[in-house]
Amino acid sequence: MKKLVKYPLLVLFAAFLIVCSIADMLISRREFSEMENRYLAQRPKFTVKSLVSNQYTLDYEKYINDQFVGRDHWITLKSVSESVLGKIENNGIVYGKEHHMFEKYRTTDERGIKANTGYLNEFLSGYEGNVTFALIPNSYQVLKDLVPRGLVNIDQQSYINQIYSRLEGENLTKLDMFPAMEQAVADAKKDNPSGFGENGQQAYYRTDHHWTTYGAYYGYANYVRSLGMEPIELDLLQGYKRQQEGFYGSYYSKAKLFSTLPDTIDYYEIPVESVTIEGEEKPELYDKEQWGKRDKYAAFLYGNHGVTVIKTKNNQYSQPGEVSRVLVVKDSYANCFVPFLTYNFDEVFVVDLRSLPMKMSELLGQYEFDDILIMYNFMNYASDTNIAKIKY
């Protein structure tokens, strides 16, 4: 004991390991982390084959890391200590001005971009109807004034221009989303100089990779005007406007910055005739159970599903005896965008190729569409391996 007293740090460290090991054996295992917004690794099943291949060891290490006692508190402590040291990034997320977070995106998947653009050209060559293609720039490209110095991400505008130049189709409209998003940012700052606040608006979330409902409205207005229609005035929807506070998005889930200010989600309880997702009737446009969870954005259209059909009587351009339809092929950015389209079409079909339960050709064989809107955010377009399904 006298010898041990000479090494107090060693004793404390050993005691720490023992206490943590005992506590680790007593605590219940969590399946999901609200703080990180992801499912946690569970105890792997032991087999001789997995042990020999070293897969069991790797899986068990992930399990220990995810289930370590007090994990959320250790993550917070790490965030505090790094902030004290002046670190402005964590896990690929950089801290910008006015509490905005941005993703480090210094390289992109050029092979993926080339392949996906090729798939779209194959689709366009075999489809005779009207198609609109829109790539949405991510937040760092539009909110340049808020990006910290030294963050040199790729120029999305240059890449988008290249992609547009490679697409061919007689009935194709290439929709430039930059002016709309820049206008959304400018208009938001008219109400609030910083572009956010209790009553202010913002085009992109501070803590998440998506555009906001406000930003999506500007994208919607840009789209329907390209079709020769006018958007529903946002002021006319104020009676349907609702808010959900305390939203911590995907960027926060990666960075875990302890001083993060949460976002507020705006949404509109627009009345519709019916919402059908994968053949199942839903009572409304939003999954309200998600408002009480960390991933609140998943409330829009109940998340990402193969085929969603919305029927409405809101259409400002409705013609007796005729049914106008639009098909939106999309990623999650469109989930807060789609409800606005009910004011310009009688039926809105929404397809997420990641979960599409049929071939695109089968869907197009069943219905005629006034327009097909293919809309992705740039980062997802570059990396999505499901866009190939559009050509079948």
The pLDDT of residue 67 is above 80: no
36 token code pair = 């990180």
Q: 321 to each of 116, 169, 324, 346, how far by Cα in Å?
A: 38, 31, 10, 11
Residue 150 half-sphere exposure toward CB, CA atoms < 13 A: 5
Q: Over pLDDT 90: what percentage of the chain?
A: 70
106 token code pair = 């210094």
Q: 266 to each of 87, 184, 213, 336, 383, how far by Cα in Å?
A: 32, 15, 6, 9, 28
How many beta carbons lie within 10 A of that of residue 391, not counting itself?
18
The two counts, helices (H) then strands (E), for the chain are 13, 15
DSSP state, 306?
S
CA torsion, points 377, 383, 385, 389, in degrees to nearest 10? 30
Query: Could you write out the DSSP letters of every residue in 120-134?
Result: HHHHHHH--S-EEEE
Return the biggest CA–CA distance within the chain. 95
- Among 53-67, 100-114, 362-376, the least confident range: 53-67
Where do the domains of the chain lie?
A: 20-69, 101-391
Euclidean distance between CA atoms 258 and 260, whole angstroms: 6
Sorting pLDDT into bands at 50, 70 and 90, what band is 303? very high
Cβ proximity of 143 and 181 under 8 Å: no
- What is the enclosing helix (H) or strand (E) of 377? strand 371-377
Q: With 0-12 CB in 10 A as exposed, 13-18 as middle and 19+ as buried, what is 22?
A: exposed
- What is the enclosing helix (H) or strand (E) of 351? strand 347-351
Euclidean distance between CA atoms 94 and 149, whole angstroms: 11
- The pTM of this model reads 0.84
Within 8 A by CB and 6+ apart from 293, the residues are 34
The pLDDT of residue 168 is above 50: yes
Cβ proximity of 303 and 287 under 8 Å: yes
Euclidean distance between CA atoms 26 and 20, whole angstroms: 10
How many beta carbons lie within 10 A of that of residue 179, not counting itself?
10
Q: How many residues does the chain have?
A: 392
The pLDDT of residue 246 is above 60: yes
Query: What pLDDT does residue 198 have?
Result: 41
Euclidean distance between CA atoms 66 and 213, whole angstroms: 33
Query: What pLDDT does residue 197 have?
Result: 41
The pLDDT of residue 353 is above 80: yes
Q: Over pLDDT 70: what percentage of the chain?
A: 85
Q: What is the pLDDT of residues 97-152, one digit of tens each?
A: 999 999 999 999 999 999 999 999 999 999 999 999 999 999 999 999 999 988 99
Residue 6 phi, psi dihedral angles, 5° rounding: -70, -15
Q: What is the pLDDT of residues 305-319, one digit of tens each?
A: 999 999 999 999 999
Q: Angle 274-280-286 (CA atoms, 0-180°, nearest 5)?
A: 60
Euclidean distance between CA atoms 160 and 136, whole angstroms: 9
Q: 103 to each of 52, 77, 211, 254, 264, how far by Cα in Å?
A: 38, 22, 14, 10, 20
Cβ proximity of 332 and 262 under 8 Å: no
In the block, which residue shows the tokens 């005992």?
22
Query: What pLDDT does residue 14 have?
Result: 76
